[in-house]
Structure 1
Amino acid sequence: MSIGTGAEVWSAAVVAGLSADLFVHPMETIITRVQSPLYAIRYKSNGRIKQNLFRGLYQGFGPTLLTGIPSSAAFFIIYEGMKSAFQESGHLHVPPWAVHVASSGAAELVNCAISNPAEVLKQNAQIQLGGPRKPWGWYTVQAIRHFSAHPARLWTGYSALLASHLPGTCLTFGIYEHIKAQILEKMGETDPQLAASTSMQVQVSTLSAGLAGGFTSCFLVPIDVIKTRMRLAAGGHGVETLERSRRPSVSFLNIAKETLHTEGMPGLFRGFTLTCVAATIGSGLYLGCYEGVKLYIRDMGEVSD
């Protein structure tokens, strides 16, 4: 991957990451609150949803903003770099789906390592209660203060993050690249000029990514619920008892057992519909923006040449 291509990918990744985070964060805040074991206490009353479920939807956005740029850039630089390496090595006959799975998997390992601490801070900030006039960033500051005494807890849920994101990302990108290639190939048979146009490629990328992301997320909701509760428990928001909140770590298996014991199987599918909707919109916006900006920069470079 050349320097020019690297700058092109980096710029597109930054725009895509910021756009998706800005749009999807409110939905993720609601999902975190719904998946919290304190949902029935804090956000429901007499079977009805309280208004505070929809307040402060951008709580915890600061950590997401700070790590979104490097994690998104690192992901796509590794993803595109590995794809190029496979394609340029003529002696390796690797099927396209395997290239996409391997490339996205390697990229996601780095992405998770960068984003996990920010995700822990974000979700603990999202669940905090407070008055409607708190200054912007107040909830994040409170979360940082809590974890400053136990910085190791910022890595709580990393195993669950990998367990959900690694296969999820591999499956999403495998499906995404396959659907996109099939649509553009069929379209190219009837109208090659239309299939090659930037606008059509962006539309196809957005549609393909949305379908792939939404489909994949449906299978990973239970892991997402457990991951959320592990992080909230690390911040003292996961359970009612003081003793539990003081534990240095909470295992994936213990959280899964507790959820099944107290809420049954439905507890592992909390926020199922909204999670799938958010994944569909977020994936479509993320990869649609990425492809759009990347192709725009590439076209501008060709014009200037």
Structure 2
Amino acid sequence: MDQPGFTTSLVAGGLAGVSVDLILFPLDTIKTRLQSPQGFNKAGGFRGIYAGVPSAAIGSFPNAAAFFITYEYVKWFLHTDSSSYLMPVKHMLAASVGEVVACLIRVPSEVVKQRAQVSASSRTFQIFSNILYEEGIQGLYRGYKSTVLREIPFSLVQFPLWESLKALWSWRQDHVVDSWQSAVCGAFAGGFAAVVTTPLDVAKTRIMLAKAGSVTASGNVLSALHGVWQTQGLAGLFAGVFPRMAAISLGGFIFLGGYDQTRSLLLRLGRESP
């Protein structure tokens, strides 16, 4: 990828990520508390709804930027013809590699954020320090496997669906979709992907919130899912599905629409500058 494209993807992805994480943070807190082992009310209910926001604010820009740089680079590297039937496979592969890279930044931020969300009286830095003291760097990456196992299926659904909807809309109107149309496609793709991957999100939350040394804290996704199924059944596996779907649908609208808009604007400015 050329230098302007690289820089554009970094800036556009980072700005889109920060916007989504900060605007939709209350919905994310509600979702986390619904999924927590102690239950919604004991985890804080509707109190301290912005607990953990410093962790999200610090991690969101580099996380989103890392994803989109990787996503665009892999798409460019594979350079499949746009009419090829392999196009969805390219988008799936690019999104999957992007998630693996982005999770290196996302997981430590997510661990601190989620623990702050269910313990609103504790400060974010205090939680971060406690994790390092009690578990070391490894504690910050607890749940890395479960996060990747959640994000890859999510991306396998969301990004090919987003790209396909944009291509269909472009074909129907005989010109490239506008940013708001890209955002609508992103909202639909994100909401659908959010629903089908909610059980994996529940498992990831339980693993990140589990006490150090416990069976759940070991990071076994199937074991975490089995534990939820045994104690809460199907309702437990889909705990928080509505705020998650709402947040990701709105997030898809803002994130993917904002990314397309910002990227187009920056590329246009780059072409116009001497």
TM-score normalized by structure 2? 0.91
For 2:238 and 2:28, how far apart are their aligned partners in 1? 15
The answer to which of 208-217 and 256-265 deviates more is 256-265
Deviation at 1:114, TM superposition (A): 1.8
For 2:231 and 2:97, how far apart are their aligned partners in 1? 37
Structure 2 counterpart SS, 1:98: helix
For 2:223 and 2:88, how far apart are their aligned partners in 1? 35
TM-superposition CA deviations, 1:172-192 (whole Å, max 9, x none): 10000000111012111xxxx
Q: Count residues with an aligned counterpart.
A: 270
Deviation at 1:244, TM superposition (A): 4.5
For 2:41 and 2:161, how far apart are their aligned partners in 1? 39
For 1:293 and 1:173, how far apart are their aligned partners in 2? 18
Question: After the TM superposition, which residues 69-218 of structure 1 pair with which residues of structure 2 at under 5 Å, given as runs?
Answer: 69-87=61-79, 95-130=86-121, 139-148=123-132, 149-151=134-136, 152-188=138-174, 195-196=175-176, 201-218=178-195
For 2:159 and 2:51, how far apart are their aligned partners in 1? 29
Deviation at 1:206, TM superposition (A): 0.2
Larger Rg: 1
Find the counterpart in structure 2 of residue 19 from structure 1.
Answer: 19
For 1:31 and 1:252, how far apart are their aligned partners in 2? 19
CA contact (8 A) 1:205 1:288 kept: yes
Find the counterpart in structure 1 of residue 8 from structure 2.
Answer: 8
For 2:94 and 2:41, how far apart are their aligned partners in 1? 43
Find the counterpart in structure 2 of residue 280 from structure 1.
Answer: 249
CA contact (8 A) 1:125 1:142 kept: no
Change (3 A) 1:107 1:128: same
Deviation at 1:299, TM superposition (A): 2.1
CA contact (8 A) 1:230 1:250 kept: yes
Structure 1 counterpart SS, 2:178: helix
Find the counterpart in structure 2 of residue 31 from structure 1.
Answer: 31
Query: Which of residues 275, 278, 289 is equivalent to 2:258?
Result: 289
For 1:290 and 1:40, how far apart are their aligned partners in 2? 33
TM-superposition CA deviations, 1:64-96 (whole Å, max 9, x none): 222222221111111111212222x77xx6621
Deviation at 1:8, TM superposition (A): 1.4
CA contact (8 A) 2:4 2:267 kept: no
Letter in 2 for 1:207: V
Change (3 A) 1:80 1:268: same
Q: What is the root-mean-square deviation of aligned Cα atoms in Å?
A: 2.1
Find the counterpart in structure 2 of residue 232 from structure 1.
Answer: 209
Deviation at 1:59, TM superposition (A): 1.2
CA contact (8 A) 1:17 1:72 kept: yes
Deviation at 1:124, TM superposition (A): 0.3
Letter in 2 for 1:205: S
Deviation at 1:115, TM superposition (A): 1.0
Letter in 2 for 1:150: E
Change (3 A) 1:21 1:40: closer
Change (3 A) 1:18 1:250: closer
Structure 2 counterpart SS, 1:128: coil
Structure 2 counterpart SS, 1:110: helix
Deviation at 1:228, TM superposition (A): 0.4
Question: After the TM superposition, which residues 245-284 of structure 1 pair with which residues of structure 2 at under 5 Å, given as runs?
Answer: 249=218, 251-284=220-253
For 1:83 and 1:252, how far apart are their aligned partners in 2? 30
CA contact (8 A) 1:33 1:127 kept: yes
For 1:40 and 1:94, how far apart are their aligned partners in 2? 45
The answer to which of 212-221 and 61-70 deviates more is 61-70
For 2:214 and 2:12, how far apart are their aligned partners in 1? 43
Letter in 2 for 1:223: L
For 1:294 and 1:119, how far apart are their aligned partners in 2? 26
CA contact (8 A) 1:206 1:285 kept: yes
CA contact (8 A) 1:202 1:292 kept: yes
Letter in 2 for 1:108: E
- Matched residues, percent identical? 29
